[in-house]
Structure 1
Amino acid sequence: MQKNLSRFLVLAGLLLLQACAAQSHLVQDELETISKENLKYYLYYPEDYFDSEEDFGLLLFLHGGGESGRNIEEIKDTGPPKMLAEGKQFPFLILAPQNSHAKKWWNTDAVVQLLDSVVNSNRVDKNRIYLTGLSRGGSASWELATQYPDKFAAMAVVCGMTPLPYAHWIDQNMPIWVFHGDQDDVIDVEESDKMVEKLREMGRDVRYTRYHGVGHNAWGRAYTTDSLYTWFANKKRMN
């Protein structure tokens, strides 16, 4: 347990993604605003990472609204961070940033800047970058898949909401696994029902696990599905 936790590190120094302070510049009669986003994050390394010279896959995990804008320790309450804290080992790196805004959506551009920074400073196979998120983080995962269709090898979304037009913008070759509880009273299961139906109509590779009698906390079952991580590990982008 202790050995595992020693590799599950909080990078306490905040990542400065853009400017040190918001400021405006007059550029040929146009105003340009430069802003910043500070992200705290956990970064997990597999046990054999430091004894190997090979490149590893990386799983980006986005938590839900309940862990936003709080002590970063709270993101260990759900998903892969919870499992890591309990001693589970994974075959790939896990990047788990924290949304610093309690009431705002994820800043997906900032997340990608962080992701790229971590990928470029570690031995990460860029064709094996995986994406997952729950609730508000699930919604952000759908958004990331539309904005950066060439980045991810596979995606798993747990009880996230998404506009149906996103289906047309997602990489047609990226496998997707969706999880949702049919008694969800926060994000209606129809969000996933309709998106999965649309993607399947378009011939996409989609799995759907629809839990009977489960509410919004479908992540409790989804992220303890061992086959999910085997599924991720077997995926690779073909460029």
Structure 2
Amino acid sequence: MRLFLRVPHTLLLGTFLLFQACAAQSNLIEGEQVTVTKETLQYYLYYPEDYLSNPSQTYGLLLFLHGGGESGESQEEFKMNEPPKLLEEGKQFPFLILAPHNPHERKWWNTAAVMQLLDSIVAENRVDINRIYLTGISRGGNAVWEMATQYPDRFAALAVVCGMAPLPYAHWIDREMPIWVFHGELDETIPVEESDAMVEKLKSMNYNIQYTRYKGVGHNAWDRAYTTDSLYTWFAKQKRIN
């Protein structure tokens, strides 16, 4: 004689779901890994003319990030554009200028590594931590927006020249930090609409922002932006209030 045990369908279903939950839980483990960002960054560092003669004075510092055209193995190429070109020509500035080189031709800036470099330079020199400025062009301009969101309490002002401008970044930037955006209307590499939209967004959120939109200028808006003396005067006036 065969005996058949009837098991309610709901009980079978519940048992099956419980088995699934236990199986899934058994495959879920906790872990932890310490990661380290390593990057070899060559750089140029400019000191104001009176830096050595005023050992008790602190100075501002401008961090400049170049574009994709200067990225790669050769560090010499990025001195062909401003502001490094201006430094080569002997122009004087009232603050230190740190200009690192992105060694990767096709990669974005490693902004974590750039920040480590900046921290080292600040620690080793007489830099006023409330007067650190940030600027960049093209690919470096995109990195400027990124750093402004990742480190919103570090910079006193930023200037972006023909850079990509992801709109969501607007919500993470320090509202008290002055911003100056430059872009050429005929830019075929990074459309001017990138800056148009970001500026409009930031203005709608009551940010302290100004915009220079060059007529008849393409992607090389940096030729005009960095030869504008009022840009450096503007930078020198800015100071964070912590």
Same fold (TM over 0.5): yes
Change over 3 Å in CA distance of 1:35–1:54 after alignment to 2: closer
Match of 2:47 in 1: 45
Match of 2:112 in 1: 109
Match of 1:192 in 2: 195
Give, as a single letter, the amino acid of the residue that structure 2 aligns with 1:202. Answer: M
Match of 2:231 in 1: 228
Deviation at 1:113, TM superposition (A): 0.4
Of the candidates 142, 147, 152, which is equivalent to residue 144 of structure 1? 147
**Mapping of residues 68-107 of structure 1, within 5 Å:** 68-107=71-110
The CA distance in 2 between the partners of 1:117 and 1:60, in whole Å, is 13
> Would you say how many aligned residue pairs link Structure 1 and Structure 2?
212
The CA distance in 2 between the partners of 1:235 and 1:33, in whole Å, is 35
**Mapping of residues 10-49 of structure 1, within 5 Å:** 29-49=31-51
Larger mean CA deviation between 65-74 and 228-237 belongs to: 65-74
Match of 1:21 in 2: none
Q: Does 1:178 align with 2:181?
A: yes
Note the residue ranges of structure 2 that are not aligned, 5 or more in a row: 1-29
SS at match of 1:87: coil
Deviation at 1:31, TM superposition (A): 4.9
Q: Does 1:160 align with 2:163?
A: yes
Give, as a single letter, the amino acid of the residue that structure 2 aligns with 1:45. Answer: Y
Find runs of 4+ consecutive structure 1 residues off by over 6 angstroms: none
Q: 1:157-212: CA deviations, max 9, x gaps? A: 00000210101100000000000001000001000000000000000110100000
Percent sequence identity over matched residues? Answer: 71
**Mapping of residues 52-63 of structure 1, within 5 Å:** 52=54, 53-63=56-66
Match of 2:5 in 1: none
Deviation at 1:88, TM superposition (A): 0.3
Provide the alpha-carbon RMSD of the alignment: 1.1
Is contact 2:37–2:113 with CA below 8 Å preserved after alignment? no
Is contact 2:67–2:136 with CA below 8 Å preserved after alignment? yes
Is contact 2:178–2:208 with CA below 8 Å preserved after alignment? yes
TM-score, scaled relative to structure 1: 0.87
The CA distance in 2 between the partners of 1:153 and 1:133, in whole Å, is 15
Note the residue ranges of structure 1 that are not aligned, 5 or more in a row: 1-27
Is contact 2:37–2:112 with CA below 8 Å preserved after alignment? no
The CA distance in 2 between the partners of 1:92 and 1:34, in whole Å, is 31
TM-score, scaled relative to structure 2: 0.86
Larger-gyration structure (1/2): 2
